[in-house]
Chain A
Amino acid sequence: MANVYESPKARVNSSMLPQYAGRPVCLVGRVEKVHPTGKSFFVSDGEGKPATVELNEPLEEELSGVIEVVGTVTNKGTVIATTYHILREDKGTSFDLELYNEALKIVHDFSQYYPFEVSMSA
């Protein structure tokens, strides 16, 4: 598995996950349900589509609201999270997930103008 911290991570939504199998991604979505074991949880993206996030260690805190997950996509289309952070809604303006999704689509539709895939020098 590529070291997630050292390579650029494409921002994706749920429908793009299959295309990024085996690659590091950044997924932003709203927490819908946490699995009883605490080792996975479900999110919905800006389009309302679901995605599953799996963890190496069980959760030690309550998860709710909008969350940004950085991890690698499995062959099954789930994301194994390396790290996550919650976008707190009580601080500052609320995160507009739908608007984020629109911006995301622009970045992907016009990827020639958004050359993020420049790898960091080793």
Chain B
Amino acid sequence: MDCLDLLPLFVTNIRKIESGSGPARFRLMMSDGLHTMSAFMLSTQLNPMAEQNLVAPNCVCLIKKNVTNVLKDGRRVVIILDMEVLRPAEEVPGKIGDPTPYVEGELCQTKVAPAPPSAPSRTLQPQNGHSIPVSKGPSRDFAKKAPSTPGGSSKVVPIASLNPYQSKWTVRARVTNKSGIRTWSNSRGDGKLFSMEIVDESGEIRVTGFNQEVDKFFSLIEPGKVYYISKGTLKIANKQYTSLKNDYEMTLNGESTIIPCEDTQDVPMVQCNFVSISDLETRDKDAIVDVIGVCRSVEDITRITTKSSREVSKRTLSLMDMSGKVITVTLWGEEAEKFDGTGQPIMAIKGARLSDFGGRSLSALFSSTVMINPDIPEAYKLRGWYDKEGHALDGQSMTELKSGGGGGVNTNWKTLMDVKMEHLGHGDKADYFSCVATIVYLKKENSLYQACPSQDCNKKVVDQHNGMFRCEKCDKEFPNFKYRLILSANIADFGDNQWVTCFQESAETILGQNAAYLGQLKDSNEAAFEEVFQQANFKTYIFRNRVKLETYNDESRIKATVMDVKPVDHKEYSKRLIMNIRKLSAQ
């Protein structure tokens, strides 16, 4: 507090502190007329002043030199090195003003600026002179917060400069994302945590608070607001939990402070590194990316039961950006429930996970931030583009989920010959294609297997031969099982044939019966069971297949799996054939 220099203060109280060894110390309580502060110590060379009553309660003095120490527990103490008595106590009529104790810690952190001495205002605004235009109004959160450590005059540093080797810092940042409280319970006990991401002009960082810090700070933090944060612990970032660009992440500890900041001008809203949808193809599966686009369509919300038997809401939507490409985005839980896709809003997601489901698709994670019509330049650009031209585009989808009635503009039609000629599936990732083909062979042997009866578990069970069946995955034994289909088939078109594997849904479609019934039939009526397979043979469908080169012990083979089976839409098929014929003849 260099501003104490040359500040006339008057002494309200002096206390002599005896110390066993060494000279006594005098502790002073000083006032500036508005507030009192008791953390003043007279340096020993000035002891005589106190002993000779030159410095006595009610005298007015001028501190000419001082040094401020910060104690281990964070309290500040001003050591007076040189002081001049302006008015001796006898000449001062009485207490000046009606000072109240100055509570340290309610002061906002400020940049160290050689500020002109200014008395702390009653509403405790940051002591500073020039650079930060702080509003003078009282901050509403002050009353809420019990300061654990005094504000002090630490520098405000950029987030990008935070590192584990410096402890005295303060950052001024906006909270872009605040998670809910997560609790856990394991052998070592219980705990809770919450995390948030903060951003300033220089960068962003992830902040986590555990247990007590959850109680202290969770309700104080509002996403979108700016805070001064200091004294967190920095450590190397665990990239598993965050995609933020920072080598470090912060953990709040007992000494950390979070103080709301009124001035938010310079602090950016959010830092996003948007990837164009067409580029997502080049990114790796499971990459965490930021995307922004126009939400063209939204599906209804559905409820899914997860592996851990939790019910969760799910909603998919399609997002298109200026690359003209479309991708399917999946939202979960609360985000799914509150999402409103009316009016084709601009949607930005920070920290979505890229998956290779259906080729390429995006999923919002617990840690993702979903923004609708965000107030950022990219959003305005998108809106303008979409209103002018984008809305008319059909858009090519990166997610090959919906082949919508035989195929929209998006379907990747191939003949079985093409699959071999073009070496589909030989790349790093699987290839998806659609074809019209006829079933020419169905393998009925080993088409059914005994699976774990638990919902969501389809692992093959081991027959214990005692009436019980064991599932290794669930680590349980059951008195029953459910039949599931794995159908090996050969499909053919005019040019080539292909061995494919059909799982439950597609197999049931092809055979026209469900697995349970077929299992029954197999056990009781072999002839009828065979008949099902006979009837299913030589039927033509639209197959949506996935091909991938798989390697088993030095041998590489293309494995084809049927993702979806649909009856042929003859109109669509005819149109496509006519179009292709005309195209070929024009070449």
| Interchain CB contact under 8 A, A103 and B578 | yes
B307 at the interface (CB under 8 A from A): no
A102 at the interface (CB under 8 A from B): yes
| Interchain CB contact under 8 A, B581 and A110 | yes
CB distance from A64 to the nearest CB of B (A): 22
Count of chain A residues with a beta carbon within 8 Å of a chain B beta carbon: 8
Bound CA span A110–B585, Å: 9
Chain B residues closer than 8 Å to A110, beta-carbon distance = 581, 585
A60 at the interface (CB under 8 A from B): no
Bound CA span A99–B574, Å: 8
CB distance from B580 to the nearest CB of A (A): 10
Chain A residues closer than 8 Å to B585, beta-carbon distance = 109-110
| Interchain CB contact under 8 A, B578 and A96 | no
Chain A residues closer than 8 Å to B582, beta-carbon distance = 106
| Interchain CB contact under 8 A, A106 and B581 | yes
Specify the chain A residue showing the minimal Cβ separation from B572: A99
B571 at the interface (CB under 8 A from A): yes
Specify the chain B residue showing the minimal Cβ separation from A96: B571
A93 at the interface (CB under 8 A from B): yes
Consensus secondary structure, chain B interface: helix
B575 at the interface (CB under 8 A from A): yes
Specify the chain A residue showing the minimal Cβ separation from B584: A110
Chain B residues closer than 8 Å to A106, beta-carbon distance = 578, 581-582
Bound CA span A96–B575, Å: 11
Which positions 538-587 of chain B face chain A at CB distance < 8 Å?
Answer: 570-571, 574-575, 578, 581-582, 585
A95-122 interface code vs B (CB 8 A; 1 in, 0 out): 0100100110010011000000000000
Residue from A96, A102, A110 having most chain B Cβ neighbours under 10 A: A102
Known: A110-B581, A110-B585. A103 touches B571 (CB 8 A): no
Bound CA span A90–B571, Å: 17
Chain A residues closer than 8 Å to B578, beta-carbon distance = 99, 102-103, 106
Which positions 7-39 of chain A face chain B at CB distance < 8 Å?
Answer: none
| Interchain CB contact under 8 A, B581 and A99 | no
Bound CA span A99–B573, Å: 11
Specify the chain A residue showing the minimal Cβ separation from B582: A106
Bound CA span A103–B582, Å: 11
Specify the chain B residue showing the minimal Cβ separation from A113: B581
Chain A residues closer than 8 Å to B571, beta-carbon distance = 93, 96, 99
Bound CA span A101–B3, Å: 93
Which positions 406-448 of chain B face chain A at CB distance < 8 Å?
Answer: none
Specify the chain B residue showing the minimal Cβ separation from A105: B578
CB distance from B150 to the nearest CB of A (A): 79
Bound CA span A99–B582, Å: 14
- Chain B residues close to A by CB (< 8 Å): 570-571, 574-575, 578, 581-582, 585
Apart from the given pairs A102-B574, A110-B581, 9 other A-B contacts in the complex at a CB distance below 8 Å: A93-B570, A99-B571, A99-B574, A99-B575, A102-B575, A103-B574, A103-B578, A106-B578, A106-B581
- Chain A residues close to B by CB (< 8 Å): 93, 96, 99, 102-103, 106, 109-110
A-B contact pairs, 10 of them (CB 8 A): A93-B571, A99-B571, A99-B574, A99-B578, A103-B574, A103-B578, A106-B578, A106-B581, A110-B581, A110-B585
Nearest 9 CB-CB pairings of A with B: A102-B578, A106-B581, A96-B571, A99-B574, A106-B578, A103-B574, A99-B571, A103-B578, A99-B575
